[in-house]
Structure 1
Amino acid sequence: MTVMAERTWHASQMSVEEFERIAAFAARETDDAVRFEFIDGRIGVKQVPDGDHNTIVMWLLRRCMQARPDLDLYQGQGLKVEKYRKGRARPDGVLVPAAHFAGHGEWAPAEGVLLVLEVTSHDADTDRRDRLEKPLAYGAAGIPCYLLVDRDDCSVTLYSDPEADGGYGSAVRKTFGGTLSLPGPLGFDLDTAELKQYAG
Protein backbone atom coordinates (compact mmCIF):
# COMPACT_ATOMS: atom_id res chain seq x y z
CA MET A 1 0.00 0.00 0.00
CA THR A 2 1.40 3.40 -0.87
CA VAL A 3 1.46 6.14 1.74
CA MET A 4 -0.65 8.41 -0.43
CA ALA A 5 -3.30 5.84 -1.23
CA GLU A 6 -6.78 7.23 -0.88
CA ARG A 7 -10.21 6.31 -2.07
CA THR A 8 -13.36 8.32 -1.60
CA TRP A 9 -16.72 6.85 -0.66
CA HIS A 10 -19.91 8.74 0.01
CA ALA A 11 -21.11 8.44 3.61
CA SER A 12 -24.20 6.52 2.45
CA GLN A 13 -21.99 3.85 0.86
CA MET A 14 -19.92 3.03 3.92
CA SER A 15 -20.91 2.81 7.55
CA VAL A 16 -18.68 3.80 10.44
CA GLU A 17 -18.58 0.16 11.51
CA GLU A 18 -17.25 -0.85 8.07
CA PHE A 19 -14.60 1.86 8.30
CA GLU A 20 -13.52 0.69 11.75
CA ARG A 21 -13.13 -2.89 10.47
CA ILE A 22 -11.02 -1.69 7.52
CA ALA A 23 -8.86 0.51 9.76
CA ALA A 24 -8.29 -2.30 12.26
CA PHE A 25 -7.36 -4.74 9.49
CA ALA A 26 -4.98 -2.25 7.87
CA ALA A 27 -3.29 -1.53 11.21
CA ARG A 28 -2.56 -5.24 11.62
CA GLU A 29 -1.36 -5.73 8.05
CA THR A 30 0.80 -2.58 7.72
CA ASP A 31 2.36 -2.61 11.20
CA ASP A 32 0.96 0.91 11.76
CA ALA A 33 2.89 2.25 8.74
CA VAL A 34 -0.13 4.39 7.85
CA ARG A 35 -3.05 5.90 9.77
CA PHE A 36 -6.66 5.87 8.68
CA GLU A 37 -9.37 8.48 9.31
CA PHE A 38 -12.98 8.78 8.16
CA ILE A 39 -14.07 12.39 7.75
CA ASP A 40 -16.83 13.78 5.55
CA GLY A 41 -17.54 10.35 4.09
CA ARG A 42 -13.92 9.94 2.97
CA ILE A 43 -11.29 7.48 4.09
CA GLY A 44 -8.00 9.30 4.44
CA VAL A 45 -4.65 7.59 4.66
CA LYS A 46 -1.69 9.52 6.00
CA GLN A 47 1.86 8.51 6.63
CA VAL A 48 3.26 7.85 10.07
CA PRO A 49 4.85 11.04 11.46
CA ASP A 50 8.55 11.81 11.06
CA GLY A 51 10.90 12.78 13.88
CA ASP A 52 10.34 16.54 13.65
CA HIS A 53 6.58 15.99 13.59
CA ASN A 54 6.74 13.92 16.79
CA THR A 55 9.12 16.42 18.41
CA ILE A 56 6.54 19.17 17.89
CA VAL A 57 3.93 17.05 19.67
CA MET A 58 6.38 16.54 22.54
CA TRP A 59 7.02 20.30 22.59
CA LEU A 60 3.33 20.87 23.31
CA LEU A 61 3.30 18.06 25.86
CA ARG A 62 6.16 19.69 27.79
CA ARG A 63 4.44 23.10 27.73
CA CYS A 64 1.20 21.59 28.99
CA MET A 65 2.93 19.69 31.77
CA GLN A 66 4.61 22.89 32.96
CA ALA A 67 1.50 25.07 32.80
CA ARG A 68 -1.27 22.56 33.51
CA PRO A 69 -0.09 19.33 35.17
CA ASP A 70 -3.76 18.43 35.67
CA LEU A 71 -4.10 17.78 31.91
CA ASP A 72 -2.96 14.89 29.72
CA LEU A 73 -1.89 15.11 26.07
CA TYR A 74 -2.65 11.85 24.28
CA GLN A 75 -0.98 10.83 21.02
CA GLY A 76 -2.80 8.46 18.67
CA GLN A 77 -6.16 8.55 20.47
CA GLY A 78 -9.01 8.17 17.98
CA LEU A 79 -11.98 10.51 18.32
CA LYS A 80 -15.57 10.16 17.24
CA VAL A 81 -16.40 13.40 15.44
CA GLU A 82 -19.94 12.21 14.76
CA LYS A 83 -21.58 15.59 14.26
CA TYR A 84 -19.62 15.86 11.04
CA ARG A 85 -20.98 12.97 8.95
CA LYS A 86 -20.14 10.29 11.53
CA GLY A 87 -16.40 10.77 11.24
CA ARG A 88 -13.44 9.16 12.94
CA ALA A 89 -10.32 11.27 13.39
CA ARG A 90 -6.95 10.51 14.92
CA PRO A 91 -5.40 13.86 15.89
CA ASP A 92 -1.68 14.18 16.47
CA GLY A 93 -2.48 15.26 20.03
CA VAL A 94 -5.61 15.41 22.20
CA LEU A 95 -5.52 17.53 25.36
CA VAL A 96 -7.95 16.45 28.09
CA PRO A 97 -8.30 16.38 31.89
CA ALA A 98 -6.06 13.74 33.48
CA ALA A 99 -7.23 10.14 32.92
CA HIS A 100 -10.12 11.35 30.75
CA PHE A 101 -9.80 8.46 28.28
CA ALA A 102 -9.50 5.71 30.89
CA GLY A 103 -11.91 2.93 30.00
CA HIS A 104 -12.43 4.11 26.41
CA GLY A 105 -11.53 2.08 23.36
CA GLU A 106 -9.74 3.09 20.18
CA TRP A 107 -12.43 5.64 19.24
CA ALA A 108 -13.54 7.85 22.13
CA PRO A 109 -16.27 10.54 22.18
CA ALA A 110 -15.13 14.13 21.63
CA GLU A 111 -16.98 15.37 24.72
CA GLY A 112 -14.57 16.69 27.32
CA VAL A 113 -11.71 17.26 24.87
CA LEU A 114 -10.16 20.70 25.47
CA LEU A 115 -7.85 20.96 22.46
CA VAL A 116 -6.78 18.92 19.46
CA LEU A 117 -3.39 19.32 17.81
CA GLU A 118 -2.49 18.67 14.19
CA VAL A 119 0.99 19.07 12.73
CA THR A 120 1.19 19.27 8.96
CA SER A 121 2.85 16.39 7.15
CA HIS A 122 4.85 16.54 3.97
CA ASP A 123 2.23 14.87 1.79
CA ALA A 124 -0.08 16.09 -0.95
CA ASP A 125 -3.19 15.69 1.19
CA THR A 126 -2.17 17.85 4.16
CA ASP A 127 -3.81 21.02 2.78
CA ARG A 128 -7.28 19.50 2.41
CA ARG A 129 -7.01 17.36 5.53
CA ASP A 130 -5.44 19.67 8.13
CA ARG A 131 -6.37 23.15 6.88
CA LEU A 132 -9.87 22.55 5.49
CA GLU A 133 -11.57 19.38 6.72
CA LYS A 134 -10.23 19.17 10.26
CA PRO A 135 -11.38 22.64 11.39
CA LEU A 136 -14.88 21.85 10.12
CA ALA A 137 -14.96 18.44 11.80
CA TYR A 138 -13.51 19.52 15.14
CA GLY A 139 -15.69 22.62 15.33
CA ALA A 140 -18.84 20.62 14.55
CA ALA A 141 -17.88 18.15 17.31
CA GLY A 142 -17.76 21.04 19.80
CA ILE A 143 -14.04 20.77 20.58
CA PRO A 144 -13.15 24.18 22.10
CA CYS A 145 -9.73 24.60 20.48
CA TYR A 146 -7.90 23.29 17.43
CA LEU A 147 -4.17 24.05 17.26
CA LEU A 148 -2.59 23.67 13.82
CA VAL A 149 1.20 23.70 13.62
CA ASP A 150 1.91 24.38 9.96
CA ARG A 151 5.46 23.43 9.02
CA ASP A 152 4.99 24.61 5.44
CA ASP A 153 4.55 28.27 6.28
CA CYS A 154 6.19 28.21 9.75
CA SER A 155 3.08 29.22 11.66
CA VAL A 156 0.71 28.13 14.38
CA THR A 157 -3.02 28.80 14.13
CA LEU A 158 -5.39 28.51 17.07
CA TYR A 159 -9.01 27.96 16.10
CA SER A 160 -11.52 28.61 18.90
CA ASP A 161 -15.23 29.32 19.45
CA PRO A 162 -16.60 26.18 17.75
CA GLU A 163 -19.72 26.55 15.64
CA ALA A 164 -22.48 23.93 15.62
CA ASP A 165 -22.60 23.71 11.83
CA GLY A 166 -18.84 23.17 11.63
CA GLY A 167 -15.73 25.25 11.86
CA TYR A 168 -14.68 27.91 14.34
CA GLY A 169 -15.65 31.54 14.86
CA SER A 170 -12.11 32.64 15.67
CA ALA A 171 -8.68 31.89 14.20
CA VAL A 172 -5.46 33.48 15.47
CA ARG A 173 -2.27 32.85 13.47
CA LYS A 174 1.28 33.50 14.66
CA THR A 175 4.52 32.85 12.83
CA PHE A 176 7.06 30.63 14.59
CA GLY A 177 8.69 32.75 17.27
CA GLY A 178 5.50 34.50 18.36
CA THR A 179 3.56 33.90 21.54
CA LEU A 180 0.10 32.37 21.29
CA SER A 181 -2.36 32.72 24.16
CA LEU A 182 -4.63 29.75 24.77
CA PRO A 183 -8.07 30.81 26.05
CA GLY A 184 -9.86 29.42 29.10
CA PRO A 185 -10.26 26.81 30.34
CA LEU A 186 -6.62 26.32 29.27
CA GLY A 187 -5.39 29.81 30.12
CA PHE A 188 -1.68 29.72 29.34
CA ASP A 189 0.69 31.06 26.68
CA LEU A 190 2.75 29.14 24.14
CA ASP A 191 6.13 30.56 23.16
CA THR A 192 6.64 29.11 19.68
CA ALA A 193 10.31 30.11 19.18
CA GLU A 194 11.51 26.50 19.54
CA LEU A 195 9.39 25.44 16.56
CA LYS A 196 11.69 27.27 14.14
CA GLN A 197 14.19 24.42 14.28
CA TYR A 198 11.58 21.80 13.30
CA ALA A 199 10.19 23.49 10.19
CA GLY A 200 10.82 22.33 6.67
Structure 2
Amino acid sequence: MGAEEFERLAAAAERDDIRLEFIDGKLGVKAVPDGDHDEIIRFVMKHCLQQRPELWLYPERGLKVEAYRTGHARPDGALAPEGAFAGQGEWAAADQVLMVVEVTSYDSDTDKRDREDKPRAYAETGIPVYLLIDRTLGEVVVHSSPDSRGVYSHLDRYLFGKRVELPAPVGVVLDTEPLKGWVR
Protein backbone atom coordinates (compact mmCIF):
# COMPACT_ATOMS: atom_id res chain seq x y z
CA MET A 1 0.00 0.00 0.00
CA GLY A 2 1.35 3.40 -0.92
CA ALA A 3 1.06 6.64 1.04
CA GLU A 4 -1.68 8.08 -1.18
CA GLU A 5 -3.74 4.91 -0.96
CA PHE A 6 -3.37 4.93 2.85
CA GLU A 7 -4.46 8.58 3.06
CA ARG A 8 -7.62 7.83 1.05
CA LEU A 9 -8.39 4.82 3.24
CA ALA A 10 -7.76 6.77 6.47
CA ALA A 11 -10.09 9.55 5.33
CA ALA A 12 -12.81 7.06 4.39
CA ALA A 13 -12.47 5.17 7.70
CA GLU A 14 -12.71 8.30 9.89
CA ARG A 15 -14.62 7.26 13.01
CA ASP A 16 -14.94 8.51 16.57
CA ASP A 17 -13.55 5.34 18.15
CA ILE A 18 -10.41 4.54 16.08
CA ARG A 19 -7.54 6.18 14.17
CA LEU A 20 -5.53 4.53 11.39
CA GLU A 21 -1.73 4.55 11.11
CA PHE A 22 0.63 3.13 8.48
CA ILE A 23 3.98 2.07 9.97
CA ASP A 24 6.56 -0.38 8.70
CA GLY A 25 4.42 -1.04 5.64
CA LYS A 26 1.51 -2.24 7.80
CA LEU A 27 -1.88 -0.74 8.45
CA GLY A 28 -2.59 -0.31 12.16
CA VAL A 29 -5.54 0.77 14.26
CA LYS A 30 -5.06 3.09 17.22
CA ALA A 31 -7.73 3.15 19.92
CA VAL A 32 -9.22 6.46 20.98
CA PRO A 33 -7.70 7.52 24.33
CA ASP A 34 -9.38 7.00 27.69
CA GLY A 35 -9.63 9.71 30.39
CA ASP A 36 -6.41 8.74 32.20
CA HIS A 37 -4.57 8.81 28.89
CA ASP A 38 -5.87 12.34 28.31
CA GLU A 39 -4.71 13.42 31.78
CA ILE A 40 -1.20 12.15 31.07
CA ILE A 41 -1.04 14.16 27.84
CA ARG A 42 -2.37 17.22 29.68
CA PHE A 43 0.33 16.71 32.34
CA VAL A 44 3.13 16.55 29.72
CA MET A 45 1.66 19.51 27.83
CA LYS A 46 1.50 21.62 31.00
CA HIS A 47 5.15 20.93 31.86
CA CYS A 48 6.31 21.68 28.32
CA LEU A 49 4.33 24.92 28.15
CA GLN A 50 5.56 26.11 31.56
CA GLN A 51 9.22 25.38 30.83
CA ARG A 52 9.34 26.00 27.07
CA PRO A 53 6.57 28.51 26.21
CA GLU A 54 7.85 28.90 22.64
CA LEU A 55 6.91 25.26 21.98
CA TRP A 56 3.56 23.53 21.81
CA LEU A 57 2.57 19.89 22.32
CA TYR A 58 0.22 19.19 19.42
CA PRO A 59 -2.09 16.29 20.36
CA GLU A 60 -2.88 13.60 17.76
CA ARG A 61 -0.94 15.44 14.99
CA GLY A 62 -0.67 13.31 11.87
CA LEU A 63 3.00 12.98 10.85
CA LYS A 64 4.79 11.54 7.84
CA VAL A 65 7.38 9.15 9.27
CA GLU A 66 9.82 6.50 8.06
CA ALA A 67 11.99 7.98 5.37
CA TYR A 68 12.10 4.73 3.42
CA ARG A 69 8.55 3.37 3.83
CA THR A 70 6.40 6.53 3.61
CA GLY A 71 4.71 5.78 6.93
CA HIS A 72 2.06 7.84 8.64
CA ALA A 73 1.71 8.02 12.43
CA ARG A 74 -0.53 9.94 14.77
CA PRO A 75 1.46 10.26 18.01
CA ASP A 76 -0.37 11.21 21.18
CA GLY A 77 1.70 14.40 21.19
CA ALA A 78 4.21 16.13 18.91
CA LEU A 79 6.34 18.85 20.51
CA ALA A 80 7.31 21.52 17.99
CA PRO A 81 7.71 25.29 17.75
CA GLU A 82 4.42 27.14 17.81
CA GLY A 83 3.10 27.45 14.25
CA ALA A 84 5.21 24.56 12.94
CA PHE A 85 2.28 22.92 11.18
CA ALA A 86 0.63 26.01 9.70
CA GLY A 87 -0.38 25.43 6.10
CA GLN A 88 0.19 21.67 6.24
CA GLY A 89 -2.51 19.07 5.71
CA GLU A 90 -3.63 16.18 7.89
CA TRP A 91 -0.26 14.41 7.42
CA ALA A 92 2.55 16.89 8.10
CA ALA A 93 6.31 16.73 7.67
CA ALA A 94 8.08 15.97 10.95
CA ASP A 95 11.18 18.08 10.30
CA GLN A 96 10.40 20.60 13.07
CA VAL A 97 9.29 18.03 15.67
CA LEU A 98 11.59 17.94 18.72
CA MET A 99 9.80 15.13 20.55
CA VAL A 100 6.93 12.73 20.08
CA VAL A 101 4.96 11.38 23.02
CA GLU A 102 3.11 8.09 23.18
CA VAL A 103 1.05 6.80 26.11
CA THR A 104 0.41 3.06 26.05
CA SER A 105 -3.13 1.81 25.70
CA TYR A 106 -4.47 -1.34 27.24
CA ASP A 107 -4.84 -3.19 23.95
CA SER A 108 -3.09 -6.17 22.39
CA ASP A 109 -1.15 -4.13 19.80
CA THR A 110 0.57 -1.78 22.26
CA ASP A 111 3.67 -3.91 22.77
CA LYS A 112 4.68 -4.11 19.14
CA ARG A 113 3.36 -0.71 18.07
CA ASP A 114 4.57 1.60 20.87
CA ARG A 115 7.64 -0.33 22.04
CA GLU A 116 9.03 -1.58 18.69
CA ASP A 117 7.53 -0.09 15.51
CA LYS A 118 7.17 3.53 16.55
CA PRO A 119 10.66 3.98 18.06
CA ARG A 120 12.12 2.73 14.79
CA ALA A 121 9.84 4.91 12.65
CA TYR A 122 10.49 8.04 14.72
CA ALA A 123 14.26 7.44 14.77
CA GLU A 124 14.32 6.88 10.99
CA THR A 125 12.53 10.20 10.62
CA GLY A 126 15.18 11.92 12.76
CA ILE A 127 12.88 13.05 15.58
CA PRO A 128 15.36 13.82 18.40
CA VAL A 129 13.34 12.45 21.36
CA TYR A 130 10.65 9.79 21.71
CA LEU A 131 8.94 9.80 25.12
CA LEU A 132 7.01 6.63 25.92
CA ILE A 133 4.81 6.68 28.98
CA ASP A 134 4.21 3.01 29.64
CA ARG A 135 1.17 2.56 31.85
CA THR A 136 1.47 -1.23 31.87
CA LEU A 137 5.04 -1.26 33.21
CA GLY A 138 4.69 1.94 35.28
CA GLU A 139 7.67 3.60 33.66
CA VAL A 140 8.76 6.45 31.45
CA VAL A 141 11.13 5.52 28.63
CA VAL A 142 13.17 8.26 26.97
CA HIS A 143 14.60 7.40 23.56
CA SER A 144 17.11 9.94 22.22
CA SER A 145 19.97 10.50 19.79
CA PRO A 146 18.68 8.90 16.59
CA ASP A 147 21.60 7.58 14.55
CA SER A 148 22.20 7.03 10.84
CA ARG A 149 20.79 3.48 11.08
CA GLY A 150 17.40 4.79 12.20
CA VAL A 151 17.83 3.64 15.79
CA TYR A 152 17.77 5.66 19.00
CA SER A 153 21.25 5.16 20.42
CA HIS A 154 20.33 6.31 23.92
CA LEU A 155 17.57 4.83 26.06
CA ASP A 156 16.71 5.72 29.68
CA ARG A 157 14.01 4.11 31.83
CA TYR A 158 12.47 5.70 34.92
CA LEU A 159 9.84 4.22 37.22
CA PHE A 160 6.83 6.45 37.82
CA GLY A 161 7.65 8.79 40.70
CA LYS A 162 11.14 9.70 39.49
CA ARG A 163 12.32 13.04 38.15
CA VAL A 164 12.94 12.81 34.39
CA GLU A 165 15.14 15.30 32.56
CA LEU A 166 14.30 15.22 28.87
CA PRO A 167 17.47 15.74 26.82
CA ALA A 168 18.22 18.51 24.34
CA PRO A 169 16.66 19.86 22.26
CA VAL A 170 13.63 19.39 24.55
CA GLY A 171 15.14 20.51 27.89
CA VAL A 172 12.05 19.88 30.03
CA VAL A 173 11.96 18.23 33.47
CA LEU A 174 9.04 16.00 34.47
CA ASP A 175 8.26 14.99 38.06
CA THR A 176 6.46 11.76 37.25
CA GLU A 177 4.83 11.16 40.66
CA PRO A 178 1.33 12.12 39.38
CA LEU A 179 1.50 9.40 36.71
CA LYS A 180 0.94 6.79 39.42
CA GLY A 181 -2.66 8.00 39.73
CA TRP A 182 -3.50 7.48 36.05
CA VAL A 183 -2.88 3.75 35.66
CA ARG A 184 -5.07 0.70 36.23
* Global fold match (TM > 0.5): yes
Letter in 2 for 1:88: H
**Contact 2:128-2:146 at 8 Å conserved across structures:** yes
What is the aligned length?
Answer: 184
Matched with 2:92 is: 108
Give, in whole Å, the separation in 1 of the partners of 2:6 and 2:116: 21
Offset, 1:186: 1.9
The 8 Å contact of residues 146 and 158 in structure 1, kept in 2 or not, is answered as: yes
SS of the equivalent of 2:45 reads helix
Residue 142 of structure 2 corresponds to which residue in structure 1?
158
Residue of 22, 25, 43 corresponding to 2:12? 25
Q: Which of 1 and 2 has greater Rg? A: 1
Q: For residue 35 of structure 1, what is the aligned residue in structure 2? A: 19
Q: CA deviation at 1:109?
A: 0.6
- One-letter code of the match for 1:110? A
Which residue in the other structure is 1:186 paired with?
170
CA RMSD between the two structures: 0.9
Deviation, 1:174, is 0.2
Q: In the aligned structure 1, how far is the partner of 2:125 from the partner of 2:148?
A: 8
Contact map agreement 2:128 2:169 (CA 8 A) in 1: no
Tell me, what secondary structure is at the counterpart of 2:48? helix
- Taking the TM superposition and a 5 Å limit, the aligned residue runs for 1:116-127 are 116-127=100-111
1:16 aligns with 2:13: no
In 2, Cα distance between the equivalents of 1:158 and 1:25? 34
Q: Which residue does 2:181 correspond to in 1?
A: 197
Per the normalisation by structure 1, the TM-score is 0.90
Within 5 Å, give how 1:18-167 maps onto structure 2. Answer: 18-27=5-14, 30=15, 32-167=16-151
In 2, distance between residues paired with 1:94 and 1:49? 16
**How much has 1:84 moved relative to structure 2?**
4.3
Distance (Å, rounded) in 2 between the aligned partners of 1:156 and 1:18:
35
Q: Which consecutive unaligned segments of at least 5 residues does structure 1 have?
A: 1-13
- Unmatched tracts of structure 2, length 5 or more: none
Q: List per-residue Cα deviations over 1:160-193 (Å, max 9, x = no partner).
A: 0012322200011000000111112222211100
**What letter matches 1:20 in structure 2?**
E
* Cα distance between partner residues in 1 of 2:65 and 2:163: 29
Q: Distance in 2 between matches of 1:141 and 1:128?
A: 18
Q: Match for 2:69: what amino acid?
A: R
Contact 2:55–2:82 (Cα < 8 Å) also in 1: yes
- Name the CA distance, whole Å, in 2 between partners of 1:184 and 1:76: 23
Q: In structure 1, what residue type is equivalent to 2:11?
A: A
TM-score by length of 2: 0.97
